Amino acid sequence: MLTDQTLVTDAACAASLRDLAMRRLAPNGRNYSVWYEYHEGKNFALRHAIDQHLAAGATIDEAEMHALHGRFLCDAQQDRLLSENRLLAQGTLQEVVALLSRAAVEHSQSGHVIAEAGRSLAEDSSRLANVVTALLAETDAMSRRGEILGRRLDAATRQISGLEKRLSVARHEATVDPLTELLNRRAFDAALQRVTQQAAATKEPLAMLMVDVDRFKRINDSWGHPVGDAVLRVVANKLRQSSRDTDTVARYGGEEFVVLLPKAPLAEAMMVADRVRLAVCGRNLTLRDTGKVIGTVTVSAGVSIYRPGEPVADFLTRADEALIQAKQSGRNRVMTLEGAMA
């Protein structure tokens, strides 16, 4: 059964192979991954970089492909996976190129056979039966070659699709926290660099929330780590539900979470943080298996606003210091140190 995602995957795969051939790039896993990510459209930073490169009329050669892969796709897990599958990827892609080249040669040869038949018919119309027989034979041979080529191309495409799925799993594992399914610290750091650069360029506001579960050690000590994990998942879900599609929500470490809110002024960010706080503390948590009541869990939050041109570390520090102040002021509250900017 075809799905929208299947169609997108197939289209991205075909477009990637076309780009490799058109730009005379080596059909290896690295080059294919860059073009696949570009055509799939989910890696916005990579797509923007390539679009800018193309708009400037610059050549995308092997050196540029290596640079793009290093900037936007390279991570330890992907490198490991690509290394393990390099021969498969390179062999499969080279087979596709060879099959297409062979098809072009065979098509050319068939053209010669047909042209020769036409010349023979023009020279001697009495040879019509022989000419027709030759044409039918060549047509049948073309059909058989086409079927064989189609099957081999289909098998090669399935191999490439399987590799892409494995790469997708590796990318997911490298950027997503397995417990909460939020972005992990590494993915957040990359997003932070990107959105602060965008905010500096557009002069639009950018807010950050630092959210921490209050007295989390007591929860673990009293109820055990599985309950603590369940609490973290609850908080993660509340953060996810309270955020927009354009926001970045991540587990920063331990029981601490962070949210980046592009185009959100301080007042709006404070409202979002308080909405999360109320959503978490507004319910009594119970153990599903035993029915025992854990009670109310609360969170504290610190909010900061990015100041264009400042070091990213300062942006983070103000949110963290505001969170510390919220903890010291009694917990279960939202604080900011922005002062005059409020």
Give the burial class of 76: count Cβ atoms within 10 A of its Cβ; 0-12 exposed, 13-18 middle, 19 or more buried: exposed
Which residue's structure tokens are 């029915």? 291
Q: Examine the residue annotation and report whether 255 is marked as an active-site residue of this protein.
A: yes
Q: Is 207 left (phi over 0), alpha (psi -120 to 50) or beta?
A: beta
Q: From the candidates 40, 138, 164, 255, which is the catalytic residue?
A: 255
- Candidates 250, 314, 301; CA nearest to 271 is 301
CB–CB of 259/248 below 8 Å? Answer: yes
Query: Secondary structure of the chain: what % helix, strand, coil (to 5)?
Result: 70, 10, 20
CB–CB of 235/280 below 8 Å? Answer: yes
Nearest 5 degrees, angle CA 333-CA 183-CA 272?
Answer: 30
The Cα 209–Cα 185 span in angstroms is: 14
- Candidates 268, 273, 256; CA nearest to 206 is 268
What lies within 8 Å, CB to CB, of 82 at 6+ separation is 29, 30, 33, 89, 167
Cα–Cα distances (Å) from 40 to 5, 9, 109, 167, in that order, read 10, 7, 37, 13
DSSP H helices, 178-224, are 185-202, 216-223
Burial 96-125 (b: 16+ CB within 10 A, else e): beebeeebeeeeeeeeebbeebeeebeeee
CB–CB of 300/332 below 8 Å? Answer: yes
Active site positions, annotated? 255
